[in-house]
């Protein structure tokens, strides 16, 4: 724990009901939208700009989310229009309804990579998994029967839960300054969970908008995907956490993409780094004998992985193995079944 740091604290212990909003600071409202998945909600924040609202993230383009957003627009946000959406990153639960808001006149502001990833993925609709996706799963050691089942099924598509992403956006870069809710916010960029993940740090008071980069009690998925199978998201994540340390103070109120707003960011950054350092230690120990990525779940997660969590566990296992490979701490070779077999050096 950093010198002088206190434990993580949660000043607001009750989240708003879907469609409602609570004020977390002057001119900043917190709303929560329901999600049909294990993490059953996403936080969005409305910043009062005087003549309109700036919305941070949007939720999924599915019925329950849309109903909660409609209730929000008819209630807490009814006094003025949403004139801008600032998107923290491209994942569906954050970008899903951006297109709806832009069609009503809002501007979209985000990083270039977040915009391009979202637009590319929503346009890339597949009825069956691509050859590259099947090869990625095979390389990771997905069991043949599961691979055959997935090959015959329609895969998850962004278009299933993300409205069409509009043409055109305003680019935000690291070091930019944004005015919203009567404050000047510094843009700082993280990587690992999503490329060019945007965070906002108020110059005028101790508030940070963290998205999924600065969650309080869970670690976001750090996965390598078929789009970039050799990526090192774990290394990028650890580097990003370290890059935020000089700007973090114990009194900052962090507004995260999931869970509750909290204070104690310096402590949390150390926790996030240590969490993956310990996972890598367990993985190194497990690789005394060659293993496929799918055989590393118990070492990394401490439990049997099944159901919807399997795909996320697979990409995260590959991400951690890629980090050891990048550091020269592991090597890999093809097994008889064509999957990569990993072992520590």
pLDDT tens over the chain, length 345 residues: 454 446 999 999 999 999 999 999 999 999 999 999 889 999 999 999 999 999 999 999 999 999 999 999 999 999 999 999 999 999 999 999 999 999 999 999 999 999 999 999 999 999 999 999 999 999 999 999 999 999 999 999 999 999 999 999 999 999 999 999 999 999 999 999 999 999 999 999 999 999 999 999 888 999 999 999 999 999 999 999 999 999 999 999 999 999 999 999 999 999 999 999 999 999 999 999 999 999 999 999 998 888 888 999 999 999 999 999 999 999 999 999 999 999 999
d(C-alpha 20, C-alpha 1), whole Å: 36
Q: Residue 38 has what pLDDT?
A: 85
d(C-alpha 290, C-alpha 88), whole Å: 38
Maximum C-alpha span of the chain: 64
DSSP H or E stretch at residue 30: strand 28-34
d(C-alpha 321, C-alpha 327), whole Å: 10
Q: Residue 218 has what pLDDT?
A: 87
* Nearest to 121, CA basis, from 72, 177, 159: 159
- Give the list of residues 6+ apart from residue 343 with CB closer than 8 angstroms, or none: 287, 288, 289, 290, 291, 330, 331, 332
d(C-alpha 287, C-alpha 272), whole Å: 23
Q: Residue 306 has what pLDDT?
A: 83
Q: Contact at 8 Å (CB) between 42 and 33? A: yes
- Please spell the DSSP secondary structure of 227-274, one letter per residue: TSTT--HHHHHHHHHHHHGGG--TT-EEEESSS--BB-HHHHHHHHHH
d(C-alpha 85, C-alpha 96), whole Å: 12
Q: What count of Cα atoms within 13 Å lies in the side-chain half-sphere of residue 214?
A: 35
Q: What pTM was computed for the model? A: 0.95
Phi first, then psi: give them for residue 173, nearest 5 degrees: -125, 160
Q: Residue 6 has what pLDDT?
A: 64
Selecting from 3.30.70.20, 3.30.390.10, 3.60.15.10, 3.40.50.1980, what CATH number does the domain 21-127+156-276 have? Answer: 3.60.15.10
Both tokens assigned to 317:
């296992």
């Amino acid at each position: 724990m950093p010198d002088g740091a206190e434990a993580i604290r949660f000043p607001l212990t009750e989240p708003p009901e879907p469609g409602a909003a609570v004020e977390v600071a002057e001119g900043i409202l917190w709303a929560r939208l329901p999600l049909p998945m294990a993490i059953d909600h996403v936080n969005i924040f409305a910043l009062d700009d005087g003549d309109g609202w700036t919305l941070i993230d949007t939720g999924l383009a599915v019925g329950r989310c849309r109903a909660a957003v409609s209730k929000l627009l008819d209630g807490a946000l009814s006094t003025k229009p949403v004139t801008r959406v600032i998107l923290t990153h491209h994942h569906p639960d954050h970008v899903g309804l951006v297109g709806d808001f832009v069609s009503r006149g809002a501007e979209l502001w985000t990083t270039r990579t977040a915009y391009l990833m979202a637009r590319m993925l929503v346009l890339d609709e597949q009825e069956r998994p691509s050859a590259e996706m099947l090869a990625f799963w095979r390389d990771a050691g997905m069991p043949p029967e599961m691979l055959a089942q997935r090959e015959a099924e329609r895969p998850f598509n962004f278009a299933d839960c993300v409205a069409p992403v509009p043409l055109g956006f305003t680019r935000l870069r690291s070091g930019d300054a944004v005015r919203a809710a009567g404050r000047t916010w510094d843009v700082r960029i993280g990587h690992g969970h999503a490329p060019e993940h945007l965070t906002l740090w108020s110059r005028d008071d101790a508030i940070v908008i963290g998205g999924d980069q600065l969650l309080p009690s869970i670690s976001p998925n750090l996965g390598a995907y078929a789009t970039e199978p050799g990526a090192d998201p774990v290394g990028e994540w650890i580097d990003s956490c370290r890059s935020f340390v000089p700007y973090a103070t114990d009194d900052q109120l962090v507004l995260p993409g999931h869970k509750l707003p909290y204070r104690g960011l310096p402590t949390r950054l150390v926790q996030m780094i240590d969490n993956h350092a310990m996972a890598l230690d367990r993985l190194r120990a497990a690789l005394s004998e060659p293993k496929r990525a799918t055989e590393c779940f118990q070492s990394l997660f401490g439990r049997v992985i099944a159901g919807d969590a399997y795909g996320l566990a697979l990409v995260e296992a590959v991400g951690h193995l890629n980090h050891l490979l990048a550091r020269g701490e592991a090597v890999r070779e093809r097994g008889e079944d064509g999957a990569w077999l990993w072992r520590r050096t």
